[in-house]
Amino acid sequence: MKVLFICSGNATFNTLSPFIKAQAESLESDGVVVDFFYIRGKGIRNYLKNVPILRKEIKSNNYDLLHAHYALCGWVAVLTLTRLPIILSLMGSDVFGDINEKGKRKFKSNLFVLLTRFVQPFVDVVIVKSAGMRAKVVKRKEVYAIPNGIRMDKFRPLNYDARTKLGLDPNKQYVLFLANPEDPNKNIQLVQNAVQLLDRPDLEFINIYKVSHETIVDYLNAVDVFTLCSYSEGSPNVVKEAMSCNCPMVVTPAGDAPWVIGDTPGCYVGPYDAEGYSEKLAEALKYAETQGRTKGRARIYDLGLDGKHVAQQLESIYVHVISEDGSEEMAQQREPISMS
């Protein structure tokens, strides 16, 4: 099976989104051939310039289907007028819009949300990352909720002292925030205010952004508590990555984060007010001090969110879409993940 991934190529730090890369690697390890078409240029006008280039790419290769990641990439695929099946993965911001510092959708993103709705009838399958996203999808058939899978071989408990490697004080506790501090949707001030309310000289806040996966793994193994403060998410990969490293955490009810952590001891859902969030943070810090690490990694396996299992769900959809004989039965044997 040969699949063409259509995705943005405009990022300055990682040309290819890490989770799309991981998804492709998992599929390739299962025998699927994955090529990439990178959309160059930002904005609707520049995206449209890629349509004839993509059309030429499709004609010169023998692809079985197209898999577009993000709604605007879906439009580029649709406008090639190809006869190939098109699968569209929605990411979160294309469904919910960009969020401001008050947790509300920015007015200028309304157009992109409309474009996300309008493209859905023209694709064969829509994949969303969470049940919350699925509720916003207008397409009623061939819609699957499949969170991104995690490379468990990369995000794992380490067999060395990551705290020593990073030069962190063994006598302090550390709270980690892994996101762009300038993004209002990521809501960094919530955890900053919560840490300030705890007023502990032995407690230190760390924010890292645009670092390698290896560095992220080191920090997730070194700190006491990971935090997610977002207003809106699809299926935040960083929560699953932290769970895979058995890191205690406090998350807001953004996307499927509460579902992912479930009732895992040492993992808590906090509110959007600093006082309430600080209470949950204190609980997580106490857990880290007295109990150590969580069993979050086992939870990820139980949910089927490891990369290999998720790749199998995608393969089942691919087989279903391109099937013209009895292969549909094979696809049904591997039903995609559902979330309640």
Token pair listed for 62? 């023998």
pLDDT for the residue 168: 97
Which of 38-42, 109-113, 313-317 is predicted most confidently? 313-317
Query: Is 339 a residue whose pLDDT tops 70?
Result: no
User: pLDDT-based confidence at 328, cuts 50/70/90?
Assistant: very low
Token pair listed for 122? 């023209």
User: Which residues, in sequence order, are CB contacts of 44 under 8 Å at separation 6+?
Assistant: 72, 115
Residue 278 and residue 179: Cα distance in Å, rounded?
19
pLDDT for the residue 208: 97
What is the identity of the amino acid at 314?
L
- Burial class for 178, CB neighbours closer than 10 Å (0-12, 13-18, 19+): buried
Write out pLDDT tens, residues 239-256: 999 999 999 999 999 999
Phi/psi at 269 (nearest 5 deg)?
Answer: -100, 125
Write out pLDDT tens, residues 275-301: 999 999 999 999 999 999 999 999 999
Tell me if domain 2-149+306-332 and domain 162-301 are identical in fold: yes
With a threshold of 0.85, does the pTM exceed it? yes
In angstroms, the first-to-last Cα distance of the chain is 32
Q: How many CB atoms lie within 10 A of CB 82?
A: 17
Residue 156 and residue 53: Cα distance in Å, rounded?
40
Assigned CATH class of 2-149+306-332: alpha beta
For the residues 196-209, what does the mean pLDDT come to?
A: 97
Query: Is 340 a residue whose pLDDT tops 80?
Result: no
Q: Which residue, among 263, 258, 261, 284, has the nearest Cα to 175 in the 3D structure?
A: 284
Phi/psi at 151 (nearest 5 deg)?
Answer: -75, 95
Write out pLDDT tens, residues 18-62: 889 989 999 999 899 999 999 988 888 899 999 999 999 999 999
- Confirm if 76 and 39 have CB atoms less than 8 A apart: yes
- Confirm if 123 and 88 have CB atoms less than 8 A apart: yes
For the residues 325-338, what does the mean pLDDT come to?
A: 41
Write out pLDDT tens, residues 65-80: 999 999 999 999 999 9
Token pair listed for 244? 């895979």
Q: How many CB atoms lie within 10 A of CB 52?
A: 11
Residue 268 and residue 262: Cα distance in Å, rounded?
9
Query: Is 257 a residue whose pLDDT tops 80?
Result: yes
pLDDT for the residue 70: 93
Mutual angle of helices 110-119 and 71-79, in 10-degree steps: 50
**What is the percentage of the chain residues whose pLDDT exceeds 70?**
94
Token pair listed for 157? 């408990």
The CATH topology of domain 162-301 is Rossmann fold (3.40.50)
Residue 74 and residue 122: Cα distance in Å, rounded?
9
Query: Is 167 a residue whose pLDDT tops 60?
Result: yes
Q: Which helix (H) or strand (E) holds 298?
A: helix 296-303
Domain boundaries in the chain? 2-149+306-332, 162-301
Phi/psi at 226 (nearest 5 deg)?
Answer: -95, 145
Query: Is 94 a residue whose pLDDT tops 70?
Result: yes
Q: Which residue, among 219, 223, 241, 252, has the nearest Cα to 299 in the 3D structure?
A: 241
pLDDT for the residue 102: 81
Residue 22 and residue 150: Cα distance in Å, rounded?
8
Query: Is 332 a residue whose pLDDT tops 60?
Result: no
3-state secondary structure 61-106: CCCCEEEEECHHHHHHHHHCCCCCCEEEECCCHHHHCCECCCCCEC
User: pLDDT-based confidence at 100, cuts 50/70/90?
Assistant: confident
